[in-house]
Amino acid sequence: MASRDGNVIFGRTSAVGEVNKKITGNAGVSFPDGISNFVKKDHPLSKIGILDESKYIVWHDDFNKYVSGHWEKTVVEAGSGDHSVGVINGSGGLLEIATDNANNDRVLLQYKGNASQAVGSFIMDPKKKTYMAMRFKCDNWQTCALHVGLMRRKTDFNGLLSQGGTIQGLGIDPLFTGSEPAMFAFMGTGTGLPLNCVFGTTSSGFLPTAGDITNDEFIEMIFVYDPNRNVGRSIPSPKNIDTFLGNVSAANPAGQLNTTQTYLHKPVYFRDSARGWTGCSASVGSSDLPFTPGTDTVNPATWPDGVNLMPTMMIRNSTAAISKLTVDYLTIVQER
Amino acid sequence: MSTNYEKGFNNLPNLKNHPAGDYMGGDWPSKFNIIFDDFTSFDTASNGWRVGTNAGSTVALVPTSQFDSRTANGVLRMTQSASTASTNGSCVLAWSGGNATNTETIEFTGNEPFFWQIRYKFGATCTDASFGFNMSEDAVMDGTKYEGIEFLVPGFQCQFNPKIGTGSDPSGSWFKSNAAVIGAFGHWDGKDDATVVDQFNVLTFYYDPKREFMVYQINDRRYESKSSGGFQDGMDFQIDSAPSSQPTGKTLLPTIGFSAGTGQFIDIDYVMVGCQRPEELF
């Protein structure tokens, strides 16, 4: 039965199904016989109504709970020795990571499951879609370096720019101070900054300054990597970014050098309470497929080729006071 | 036959309103905030529950040999003290998220769907056994004992007891929301599914924010719960539009309590609680 008088139900009708028609408020689509997403219709499991769990690698933590044995924690604390990590009261499940109260104290968490040390669950495949989403806040954006996303295993760290690792996700070192403010990196290595988006530069479409994001204000970020940019493909824009509407053209197809073409290759989106999703234009305009044109070869200087990465959260303070990073959720999804 | 989407599907708004809207080929994990525990394993270090036991009461997985034939795997048994009946020998599970104290993580916004479901079975020997399932603030069941329904605390509280009541005897089963008991649901004569012993029951709650429906269901039967008339067969929904009866804006945690005669027990197959995040938060 298919009903649009409330929940939409495909499949058999039951007594409960009839009742469901009355729920008109949040009309969803119900498939009592199940739903699947197997690529081949003749796949043996495509008929039994379950999703292909292997289609995407999904790592998601809502932080309704924190299991200390699942994270490798590296701590530097020179103050009173009372850093803390744990879930606090709050909507959505909030993980609070607090440093000690001496200058340059740090807390680094890297996911390890039940292994003895953090293990690389993700390797960036330039031919596969990758998504990363996070919602978080910091109690003092201007005095903290922090990272939320993917990074290689690192137990000795002094910061982001000097840690010599590979950063995938958000990195701040720190935000809105000086000439090197926030960075939203899809690839950060060594002391260089081959970033996709750097707030505070003239090439950025969104230029937050101190005060745009207040202390203890939650912000969200989404990173989208989509290598499928065939010529002629329509690329609609996200809200507030009408200038990036367009099609991929034959003159500047996917895989060619960066142009002003509207490729949604590695865009980064930002949202806070004052605006909807805002594309960080520098991340679109200065990005391109990582392949050398005409080849399948990626440049290891701009792409973490074969590097084992793991979910990571880190905060380092730069004053003699406790600093807190609070993460609502972290999601990492990669197409197999 | 199931419906197959070879290119995948998602549960997001389109790209105009969400960066991954037209690209993601699967469900977006942060759209809902859900705690689900199938009790295929249980240890306090990783399950997220704080356990309260008294006078030798226990909370532990049921040995495999005792599985109900309809239960695939994982059943958590809460067993009353063998020596002390009622509150002082009771058991409590409260969400702590890995902390030593209760932790609230699920918000009832009033504007987003809010739901829970729990599958449970009273032991065959249960007579006077109060089983409570609550979504409430920390103030409810903040201790380690189950002391029954607590008045004047925001939240949703359900309690079932196979003790047979008659007429006006309220010992059957109760529902309460926020500041006062707003109704009983289930048969007052004690014959309701919710209180039948040695039988797995599924309790489901769903709050629909658009029309402010609250749906309570035991197995395949839905109950009205606002009136004082008790069980009303065939009444599918409760419309509870009075703000004072809803813990709107409160962040809640699940608690499960069991207080009974000595040695009696209840089995929990699984529990799920959750809410949809507001669109600006996923």
Nearest CA in chain B to A224: B20
ipTM over 0.90? The verdict is no
Structure tokens at B98: 């890995």
Residue A234 reports pLDDT greater than 80: no
- Could you tell me if B279 lies within 8 Å of chain A, comparing CB atoms? no
Q: Which residues contact A62 (CB under 8 A, 6 or more apart)?
A: A92, A93, A328, A329, B29, B30, B33, B34, B105
SS3 content of chain B, % helix, strand, coil (to 5): 5, 35, 55
Q: Which one has a higher pLDDT value, B54 or A38?
A: B54
A271 to chain B: which residues are within 8 Å by CB? 280
Q: What is the pLDDT of residue A10?
A: 40
- The class (CATH top level) of A58-335 is mainly beta
In angstroms, the CA A61 to CA A51 distance is 20
pLDDT in tens, A68-126: 999 999 999 888 889 999 999 999 899 999 999 999 899 999 999 888 899 888 887 87
Confidence of residue A219 (pLDDT cuts 50, 70, 90): confident
pLDDT in tens, B124-170: 999 889 999 999 888 777 889 999 877 666 678 888 888 755 444 44
The answer to whether residues B70 and B28 touch, using CB atoms and an 8 Å cutoff, is no
Residue A90 has its nearest CB partner, among B15, B45, B251, at: B251
Nearest CA in chain A to B8: A37
Q: What is the pLDDT of residue B66?
A: 63
| Other CB atoms within 10 A of residue B55 CB | 16
Q: Which domains does chain B have, with CATH numbers?
A: 31-276 (2.60.120.200)
Looking up tokens 């109704």, which residue turns up? B183
The answer to whether residues A304 and A168 touch, using CB atoms and an 8 Å cutoff, is yes
Average pLDDT for residues A282-297, to the nearest whole number? 54
User: What residue spans define the domains of chain A?
Assistant: 1-52, 58-335
pLDDT in tens, B218-262: 787 766 544 444 434 334 444 444 555 568 888 999 999 999 999
Nearest CA in chain A to B5: A37
CA distances from B52 to B6, B96, B162 (A): 48, 12, 23
* A137 DSSP β-pair partners: A326
B208 to chain A: which residues are within 8 Å by CB? 23, 25-26
Residue B97 has its nearest CB partner, among A16, A65, A331, at: A65
Looking up tokens 């929301």, which residue turns up? B177
Q: Global pTM? A: 0.79
Let me know if A121 is exposed, middle or buried by CB neighbors in 10 A (0-12, 13-18, 19+): middle
Structure tokens at A298: 């990626």
pLDDT in tens, B87-125: 999 999 999 999 999 999 999 988 898 999 999 999 999
In angstroms, the CA A263 to CA B45 distance is 46
